[in-house]
Chains A and B, each alone.
Chain A
Amino acid sequence: MRRISLLFVVFAIGAPRAGAQASDPATKELIEKLLARIDRLEKRVAELEKGPTTANAAAPEAVTAPTPAPAVSAAQAMHQSHDQAPVPQTAGPEAAPVYPSLKIAGFSDLDFSATNLHSTATGFGAQTLLQPHSGFEDGQFTLHLSSALSPKVTMFGEITLTARSDAGTGAPPAPGFNAEVERVIIRYDVNDYFKLSFGRYHTPINYWNTAFHHGQWLQTTISRPEMTQFGGSFIPVHFIGSLAEGAAPAGGLNLNYAVGMGNGRGQVISRGGDFGDINNNRAFLANAFIKPDGLYGLQLGGSIYRDELNPLTAPAAREWIESAHIVWHKETPEFIAEFANASHQPIGATTASNSQAFYAQTAYRLPWLQKLWKPYYRFEYIHVPKSDAIFRSVVPTFHSSTFGLRYDITTFAAFKFEYRSYVRRDGPSFYGFFGQTSFTF
């Protein structure tokens, strides 16, 4: 009789859906889950019926919660974003942080290029991939380290291994990998308004330089704009010294600032003064940007930078760089534009030369095909007057257009394809096709 009543109840519940879903796997799964839950409840009831136990008042709430939790403790299960990161070893539900707490992430890429260049494109950074021969190229292998040393002190590091034609040993120099400490920073966070740090930075006078660093996967395009290319000379990409930075709500503008003092450029002006300042004049910078509450996604900012240069192949000069950027962070559309003016005045001279660089890049995440495709376009321009003795032999004057398409294979890896055309003042025009797969791990 009881079996009949059971069948009746099950039939009554299932009847409205019986025709369509009697063999529906989802329904079966749901029934199995419910049965498992009943088992758990019955066990719980049995435990309670045995008499007073150690169960606390919160237990029934947890059992009857409508969203059942996996059978893991809070301390075991909580971990860092990006969701797959390792579980911190915590002692109990209070999850007391452990110091130091080293975390490692990585980026890497593999590139392909084919251009109609017949000789090396002088002045362009190696990672712009402008080679006279087509072929594959190892990109950078980048490791990012971060470690909280206390609630207020954090260390950040970035190390790269870069394929170079002359990084190996022997004569002539064989190809190999060049290791470099790109960034190492120790920062004391007083509060949101004031943070003081020391180390080797990517100079915060350029949006791209501090937004993407060596994470090729983070940027939409294959290569950085030439004005901020690694190995390029227009912007001092690295800065060794100290920064004070912070942010304030500023009435909804969300004003961020950074002021810094450091060694400035080395004698090879594409390099920072890692080993010490080459003169007794520190470089100074100031940077500010806003991210208004009312226009979520917008960032507007500007910077100034001042240094005294003693380059190997040009007279000593004072350098001023002023820059500005506007960024729309969202992907429908994405927009980044930057402008910089570099002024060089030889010591003792009364006139200065001004070189300009800018780029504008736009992209759009297509709404179809699972939103995995993002076409993009970038226009770049650099102008160096022949009177600029500092830049004229190391920075190319050109303008270029880049058409590309990014396809996100997974959440953490992408394919990118580009066509670029270049028009140079001091050399023939050329074009090329480029491909890249980049990822984080």
Chain B
Amino acid sequence: MGKRGGFFSRRAILLAAMWLAGIAASGTAQGADIAIVVRPDVPVDNLTFAELRRLFLGDRQFWTSSVRVTLLVRAPGAREREVVLKTIYQMSEAQFRQYWIAKVFRAEAASGPRIVYSSEMAAELVSGMPGAVAFVDADLVPKGLKVLKINGLLPGAKGYPLH
């Protein structure tokens, strides 16, 4: 009984702590910038916003002649996806889907972006796939990935466009 009581006590404290942490985390997440991450061997450190848009529209498909760009996009529902659709694509969810269906149908791209379900998954795939590029919450950028500057600005800087 005592053991069970201890379990409940720890559970209650954890519950309270995580509730508060969750509230704090949600407050942070709503305003966090979105970072564009690539592998360190991608020969680009900075993109203008227009270049970033070309990249995400699939109009630029190569980093260099030997390294093809692979787009990783968060699944619907993620805040990062909403930010990217609003700022880069300027499209609704339906327009975004139609855009990529049409892009592949026009033979302008062999396939659409690859879908990832979490920042961890995005980071894992960017690390493993040469030329992969993803967008993640700037607070969750793992070590070992390169964060691209946009218009010369890193996430968190004043004027950074993805938030």
Q: Report if A74 contacts B (CB, 8 A).
A: yes
Which of A34, A58, A330 is in CB contact (< 8 Å) with B19?
A: A34
A78 touches B116 (CB 8 A): yes
Residues of B within 8 A of A331 (CB): 95
A74 touches B105 (CB 8 A): no
Total A-B pairs in contact (CB under 8 Å)? 184
Q: State in angstroms the CA–CA spacing of A154 and B68 once bound together.
A: 13
Known: A78-B114, A95-B125. A83 touches B107 (CB 8 A): no
B61 touches A189 (CB 8 A): yes
The 8 A CB mask of B120-146 against A (1 = contact, 0 = none) is 110011001100000001001010000
Q: State in angstroms the CA–CA spacing of A210 and B107 once bound together.
A: 9
- Closest residue to B91 on the A side, CB-wise? A330
Known: A82-B101, A191-B62. A9 touches B112 (CB 8 A): no
B68 touches A296 (CB 8 A): no
Q: Report if B160 contacts A (CB, 8 A).
A: no
Q: Report if A70 contacts B (CB, 8 A).
A: yes
Q: Report if A138 contacts B (CB, 8 A).
A: no
A103 touches B111 (CB 8 A): yes
Residues of B within 8 A of A79 (CB): 114-115
B residues 65-124 with Cβ under 8 Å of A? 65, 68, 72-73, 75-76, 78, 90, 92-95, 97-98, 100-102, 104-107, 110-121, 124
- Closest residue to A69 on the B side, CB-wise? B118
Residues of B within 8 A of A94 (CB): 128-129
Known: A80-B111, A82-B100, A83-B97. A67 touches B8 (CB 8 A): no
A252 touches B13 (CB 8 A): no
Task: Give the interface residue-count category, chain B.
Answer: 35 or more
Residues of B within 8 A of A293 (CB): 50, 53
Closest Cβ–Cβ distance, residue A411 to chain B (whole Å): 5
Known: A9-B15, A38-B11, A211-B106. A67 touches B125 (CB 8 A): no
B105 touches A213 (CB 8 A): yes
Q: State in angstroms the CA–CA spacing of A297 and B89 once bound together.
A: 10
Q: Report if A93 contacts B (CB, 8 A).
A: yes
Q: Report if A148 contacts B (CB, 8 A).
A: yes
B residues 41-73 with Cβ under 8 Å of A? 50-51, 53-54, 59-62, 64-65, 68, 72-73
Residues of A within 8 A of B140 (CB): 65-67
Q: Report if A369 contacts B (CB, 8 A).
A: no
- Closest residue to A294 on the B side, CB-wise? B50
Between A and B, 11 residue pairs with Cβ closer than 8 Å are A3-B8, A61-B120, A61-B142, A67-B119, A77-B121, A152-B68, A154-B107, A156-B107, A189-B68, A191-B65, A293-B50
- Excluding A80-B113, A293-B50, 19 further A-B contacts by CB distance (< 8 Å) are A6-B8, A34-B15, A61-B120, A74-B121, A74-B125, A77-B121, A78-B116, A78-B125, A79-B114, A80-B115, A81-B114, A85-B112, A93-B124, A103-B111, A146-B104, A152-B68, A293-B53, A408-B94, A411-B98
Q: Please report B residues at the A interface, Cβ cutoff 8 Å.
A: 5-6, 8-16, 18-19, 22, 25-26, 29, 50-51, 53-54, 59-62, 64-65, 68, 72-73, 75-76, 78, 90, 92-95, 97-98, 100-102, 104-107, 110-121, 124-125, 128-129, 137, 140, 142
Shortest 10 CB-CB distances between A and B: which pairs?
A81-B112, A69-B118, A94-B128, A293-B50, A2-B5, A6-B12, A156-B107, A191-B65, A66-B25, A154-B110
